[in-house]
Structure 1
Amino acid sequence: MTSENVTEKNNSHNATTEKDKDWFQALAIFLSCLASFTAGMLFSWSSPSIPKIVEDKVNYNISLDEASYFTVLPPIGAIVSSFLFAKLNDTIGRKYSLLLIAFPHIISLILIANAKSVYVFYVSRFITGLGDSCLFASLPIYVGEISTPKVRGTWGNLMTFLIYLGQLSINVIGSYTTIATAAYICLVFPIFFLCTFVFMPESPYFYLMKGRTDDARTSLQKLRQKQNVEEELHKLKSDVDRQMSESGSWKDVLTLSSNRKAVYAGIFLRASQQLGGISSFAVYTQYIFLKSGGNVSASTSAIIFMGLCAVLNMCAAFTLDRFGRRKSYFVSLLLCGMVLLCEATYFFIEQFYGGEVNVAIVNWIPLVGMITYVVFYSFGLGIVPTLMLGELFSASIKGKGLLLLNIVFGVLVSCTTKLFHLLDTSFGLYAPFLFFSISCFISTILAVYFVPETKGKTLEEIQQSLKASKTKDKQPC
């Protein structure tokens, strides 16, 4: 065998070996995202729980109006604690900030398991918000910083996928067990997360921000599963040094063009996602299907709805890098708006013309409509905002940027879930669907101007693209 053949064979073997080493990054992402699974369960806990608690006057004696605040308190807790976790993220690191999530999750579940008074539930739901704040302040950054663009494009949506899987799980568990039993079952997951993620490496970006180059090298060696990481380390160090050379003050968040564009994009993504109705549908899933009637039970309909959220969100990982973030988001908004308008029309006719029109023959529309909504939502609205949280901001203002977005997120979740209840009780079930539909149509137009394209780019390349001219950024999708 000639030396050229040997060299060619070795190069081919090395390329295959390097390709196979992405598994450790995927493992680190998976274990870190286990926290989002518990967060998903706690977020949708009210879907199967509110009907049971309201009906059980022996153990709880809680009204529907009192129970409606179960959906409002977690985002309030997230808003209040956002400042703390944004600071911890840059002080103790992404990894140890993530580990803290387990404690509010565990405390919240223990309180739920033993609650009899509405106020104990309120405290539990508020503490749930502390975990949400920590999750969205730390997890997108950790996932974005430990992974290569290719791995991030494929596995970066795992956080969202496991949130929906958690929402599906609590709808299944909560539908067939008592409130206390469901809480004890859910306790297994934050404990498992705590015991496994502790062995994962810290983000090399964080080490480089602190000037700990040797620790960053060790972290990269673990994540890439190879010893020679000097080339990547040198590039990361150069990128972080450049980003950290910016002062990173609160003034810079809005005065520097690239930071301002990142903030505007982040706020728009979060606002358009929540005004698309997903949080309201997640916490009132069984209530919506119970009130809309139909031949399929409310619990079964909720399980189908959340199950599709989880499965389709995972499928979206394979289309997002093909079509791009901006185009996927634009199309998703447009189609979701159309589906929600159809749902609003059905509920309007049922409420005001139910005596004149026989809607029983089309009582499958709410379930089919929500399933169609999930399909369109999953390939844009459901994945792009969370994935881009860890991509948009420079290292110098990342903590402050995510703090702002977490506050916006908390306010929107709190307002939209309460707004759903108010519109439903004041006007009818058609009203919130109509509101969310109009919001989607407006956001469709704005998406062309506010959503940057980050497909296949490193974090530094994204920063450079944000510094480009406005004309280039505003090209239509």
Structure 2
Amino acid sequence: MVLVLIRSLAIFHVPVDLSGFAQGIAIGWPSPTLPLLQSHDTPLGGQPMTDEGTSWVGSLICLSALLATPVFSFMADKFSRKLTGYLVGVLIVIGWTLILFAQTEMTLHVARFIIGLGCGASLALCPLYVTEISEDSIRGTLGTVLIFLTNGGVLFSYIVGSYVPYHIFNYVCFSVPVLYLTTFFFMPESPVYLMNRGRIEDARKSLRWLRGGQVPEIEREITRITESIKNNGQDKNKISIMDLFSSRGTIKAMVIGILLMANVQLCGIFAVFSYTVNIFQLSGSNLSPNLSTILTGSFLFIGVLLATFLIDRAGRKVLMIISDLVMFLCMGVLGGYFYLKNTGADVENYGWVPVASLSLHVFSLSLGVGTVPYVVIAEIFQPQYRGLGMTLSICTLWLWAFLVSKFFTALCYTLGDHGCFWLFAVICLMGAVFIHFFVPETKNRSLQSILRELNGEDYDSIKLKCSNSYGNVIRSV
């Protein structure tokens, strides 16, 4: 298994998930950049940007990603995964090109909007593509690689943006999607997509590339994909949103997908990504804002690295519950710190508290809630509904990300800094309760057993039946 994992990462996951790295860079870019744009030395010329203008810099990427997700999900199914993958890189390259030459606030906003289109396309394509080309034994682990590189991109932005001049920083950001396009050129088309189009020989070639030419394994996988298509033979092009409400299992899967994605954003993480430097400036921390930001981003990166190795061992559900509970404590403590500071209490000796709270917050987020749901939503839908279900779930993710990043500053003015963080804390606690009672554990379980549980069959009886029939739980696509 370890050798399979290493080969999979080296050969095809790094090229695909470079789009996630580019997305992370775009998400992290505002944090070191917004203070400069709001200063009198703004690189755009003219007046410093207002809070309203900078709120659009952080949030437009989410709005355009929301609009792009259903469009590019349709394109991935209709016109191939490869074409969609190229468009991901092209759009992000165009956006960074505009930023390189931006002299006005409007140009910057347009550029961020275009980059957001590429980010939406990336998040619509990559989980689906990874699910279709991964081997079952490492599907969960490889499913976290996109988030791993996305968080790596955020950390990269924090580090480079803190110490490199604005224009050089933008050229570095521009180079990443160019590298992605170069490496993605060598990627094969998804064998599942090819089989759905009746291109069996092309699917064999794709699997030969992905599996290293092992003929018996390739033929077994061709047979498995054929049976899966036959067993779920409903025409995907004829599936509508109403079909997701055709059974108890699909309704529960849809609700779980939407609420897990809402949990990701309503814990406040996108606001933290966009305004980390500003938060540390307000906190009066003893550490410099940029150094504190880099430290926070490092914990974000470490958390998802740990999740990559735990997700197929500890399980999906336990990681998400622990993640939400730790974030609840961190947001509660951070809110308490700002409450004391705002009421005039002497917190000078406790400047480490916001750094520790945010660092632990992002670590626990990337360990569970910020990573695992992308794997879970690909595992709880029937194959014919998976694309549409994931599309709607990810649309929810981008919608909440837009609302949180756009109105975070206004929310702080309305509720106070402390009230805003306490609100995020309550949402994290609610997320843990929801996951405990309503989300099924999908680790080492076949799709059939997951669907039976969603349709109301007791999980213990499912395990007993699978044990009697097969000896072990059989994993399937």
2-structure distance, mates of 1:93, 1:424:
44
Quote how far apart the aligned CAs of 1:455 are.
1.3
Q: 1:98 aligns with which of 81, 85, 94?
A: 85
Q: 2:23 aligns with which of 39, 43, 58?
A: 39
Instruction: State how 1:312-391 maps to structure 2 within 5 Å.
Output: 312-352=303-343, 354=344, 357-391=345-379
Provide Cα deviations, 1:310-363, integer angstroms capped at 9, x if missing partner.
1221112122222210111112111210111111111101101x2xx3211112
Correspondence for 2:62:
75
Correspondence for 1:108:
95
User: Aligned AA for 2:365?
Assistant: Y
User: Aligned AA for 1:180?
Assistant: H
Correspondence for 2:413:
425
1-structure distance, mates of 2:52, 2:439:
38
Correspondence for 2:253:
262
TM-score (norm 2): 0.90
User: Aligned AA for 1:422?
Assistant: A
Correspondence for 1:310:
301
2-structure distance, mates of 1:36, 1:368:
27
TM-score (norm 1): 0.90
Distance 1:23 1:323, change over 3 A: closer
Q: Say whether residues 1:413 and 2:404 are aligned partners.
A: no
Unpaired runs of 5+ residues, structure 2, are: 463-477
Distance 1:60 1:285, change over 3 A: farther
1-structure distance, mates of 2:449, 2:191:
18
User: Runs (4+) of structure 1 moved beyond 6 Å?
Assistant: none
Q: 1:401 aligns with which of 364, 385, 389?
A: 389
Q: Say whether residues 1:25 and 2:8 are aligned partners.
A: yes
Quote how far apart the aligned CAs of 1:29 are.
1.5
Contact 1:329/1:384 (8 A) holds in 2: yes
Correspondence for 2:145:
158
2-structure distance, mates of 1:60, 1:392:
51
Distance 1:24 1:323, change over 3 A: closer
Contact 1:328/1:380 (8 A) holds in 2: yes
Q: Say whether residues 1:169 and 2:152 are aligned partners.
A: no
Q: Say whether residues 1:248 and 2:239 are aligned partners.
A: yes
Contact 1:149/1:457 (8 A) holds in 2: no
What SS does the aligned partner of 1:454 have? coil
1-structure distance, mates of 2:266, 2:2:
40
1-structure distance, mates of 2:400, 2:190:
30
What SS does the aligned partner of 2:67 have? helix
**Bigger shift: residues 421-430 or 307-316:** 421-430
2-structure distance, mates of 1:285, 1:29:
29
Contact 1:149/1:456 (8 A) holds in 2: no
Quote how far apart the aligned CAs of 1:248 are.
2.7
1-structure distance, mates of 2:25, 2:82:
22
2-structure distance, mates of 1:43, 1:104:
15
Instruction: State how 1:4-15 maps to structure 2 within 5 Å.
Output: none
2-structure distance, mates of 1:474, 1:133:
40
Correspondence for 1:6:
none
1-structure distance, mates of 2:206, 2:452:
27
Supply the RMSD in Å over aligned alpha carbons: 2.1
User: Aligned AA for 2:410?
Assistant: L
Distance 1:237 1:423, change over 3 A: same
State the aligned residue count: 454
Distance 1:177 1:440, change over 3 A: same
Contact 1:140/1:389 (8 A) holds in 2: no
**Bigger shift: residues 242-251 or 148-157:** 242-251
Contact 1:448/1:474 (8 A) holds in 2: no
2-structure distance, mates of 1:337, 1:362:
20
Quote how far apart the aligned CAs of 1:209 are.
1.5
Q: Say whether residues 1:125 and 2:124 are aligned partners.
A: no
Unpaired runs of 5+ residues, structure 1, are: 1-17
1-structure distance, mates of 2:196, 2:145:
26
What SS does the aligned partner of 1:375 have? helix
Provide Cα deviations, 1:50-91, integer angstroms capped at 9, x if missing partner.
100110356242222211111121111112223321210101
2-structure distance, mates of 1:473, 1:404:
31
2-structure distance, mates of 1:473, 1:273:
29
Provide Cα deviations, 1:427-473, integer angstroms capped at 9, x if missing partner.
32212211100001111111123322221345x44664455425439
Q: Say whether residues 1:290 and 2:287 are aligned partners.
A: no
1-structure distance, mates of 2:394, 2:5:
30
Contact 1:249/1:397 (8 A) holds in 2: no
Contact 1:392/1:462 (8 A) holds in 2: no
Distance 1:367 1:231, change over 3 A: same
1-structure distance, mates of 2:178, 2:220:
38
2-structure distance, mates of 1:184, 1:56:
23
Contact 1:313/1:383 (8 A) holds in 2: yes
Q: 1:451 aligns with which of 439, 450, 454?
A: 439
Quote how far apart the aligned CAs of 1:99 are.
2.1
2-structure distance, mates of 1:54, 1:168:
22
User: Aligned AA for 1:335?
Assistant: V
**Bigger shift: residues 281-290 or 237-246:** 237-246
User: Aligned AA for 1:38?
Assistant: A
Provide Cα deviations, 1:226-269, integer angstroms capped at 9, x if missing partner.
12221222112111222233663322122233322221121111
Correspondence for 1:12:
none
**Bigger shift: residues 20-29 or 189-198:** 20-29
2-structure distance, mates of 1:323, 1:118:
47
Contact 2:317/2:441 (8 A) holds in 1: yes
Quote how far apart the aligned CAs of 1:409 are.
1.4
Provide Cα deviations, 1:395-449, integer angstroms capped at 9, x if missing partner.
3223322221232112100111123211222332212211100001111111123
Contact 1:73/1:122 (8 A) holds in 2: yes
Quote how far apart the aligned CAs of 1:95 are.
2.8
Correspondence for 2:473:
none
